[in-house]
A and B are shown apart, each in its own frame.
Chain A
């Protein structure tokens, strides 16, 4: 199983761009990288997923280098409501079971006014 490592916490100010990096040195060929967001008293919520290079949606961008041993979640112009825990997950999606998912410890992002 690919283990993930993320910073425990990060602080930012409103309007700034936030980049959270996740290391996954043992990522397998058929593993995808997925990021979830979790607010207090809520379950994790899917943000973005990718396999390589760059993926962008209305919420965030995901940058994955060629070796795929790390990935960076980029949140443009954060607001106070982006304060949450962000999880980086690595696992197969086509043929694998959910048991192969690796939830990291998460990064507590705090956006300050």
Chain B
């Protein structure tokens, strides 16, 4: 069974540009989570999808971040326009419908560098 995949693995962009990160959860997992770790800081929750609906987006830092999960399958996280402080590693995780955060499977992450 394929695990959670994320694309790209690395992205280097300039301040002001737009970047879109993609996450493909494990097939059949209704719950999808986004997290990020900025340099030197802790991994922090961004938002949680249940299928295509945003269950909780309280961790989104500001309105430059937009997450979508059309059709309840893969998800995208767009940063527009990117700022220097957005640099870090963005993780996606998924869990089964009846599972919670404790049954999450994480992807390898996307390392975003904003210059």
Enumerate chain A interface residues (CB-CB to B < 8 A): 32, 34, 41-46, 49, 87, 91, 93-94, 96-99, 101-105
Q: How far apart sit A9 and B35, CA to CA, in the bound complex (Å)? A: 23
Q: Does B4 interact with chain A (Cβ within 8 Å)?
A: yes
Enumerate chain B interface residues (CB-CB to A < 8 A): 4, 9, 33, 35, 37, 42-45, 48, 55-56, 58-59, 91-93, 100-109
Which of B9, B91, B102, B104 is most buried by chain A, counting CB atoms within 10 A of its CB? B102
Q: How far apart sit A45 and B108, CA to CA, in the bound complex (Å)? A: 10
* B101 engages A93 (CB within 8 Å): yes
* A45 engages B102 (CB within 8 Å): no
* A49 engages B102 (CB within 8 Å): yes
* A99 engages B45 (CB within 8 Å): yes
Complex interface: chain B residues within 8 A of A42 (CB): 106, 108-109
* B55 engages A97 (CB within 8 Å): yes
Q: How far apart sit A46 and B108, CA to CA, in the bound complex (Å)? A: 14
* A98 engages B56 (CB within 8 Å): yes
With A99-B48, A101-B45 already in contact, 15 other A-B pairs whose C-beta atoms are closer than 8 Å: A43-B91, A44-B106, A46-B105, A91-B101, A93-B100, A93-B102, A94-B100, A97-B48, A98-B45, A98-B100, A98-B104, A102-B42, A103-B37, A103-B44, A105-B42
Q: How far apart sit A42 and B101, CA to CA, in the bound complex (Å)? A: 18
* B100 engages A99 (CB within 8 Å): no
Complex interface: chain B residues within 8 A of A97 (CB): 48, 55-56, 58, 101
13 cross-chain CB contacts under 8 A: A32-B102, A42-B106, A43-B92, A43-B106, A43-B107, A44-B91, A46-B103, A46-B104, A93-B100, A97-B48, A98-B33, A99-B48, A103-B42
Q: How far apart sit A41 and B37, CA to CA, in the bound complex (Å)? A: 13
* B108 engages A41 (CB within 8 Å): yes
Complex interface: chain A residues within 8 A of B92 (CB): 43
Which of A43, A87, A91, A96 is most buried by chain B, counting CB atoms within 10 A of its CB? A43
Chain A: minimal CB distance from B35 (Å): 8
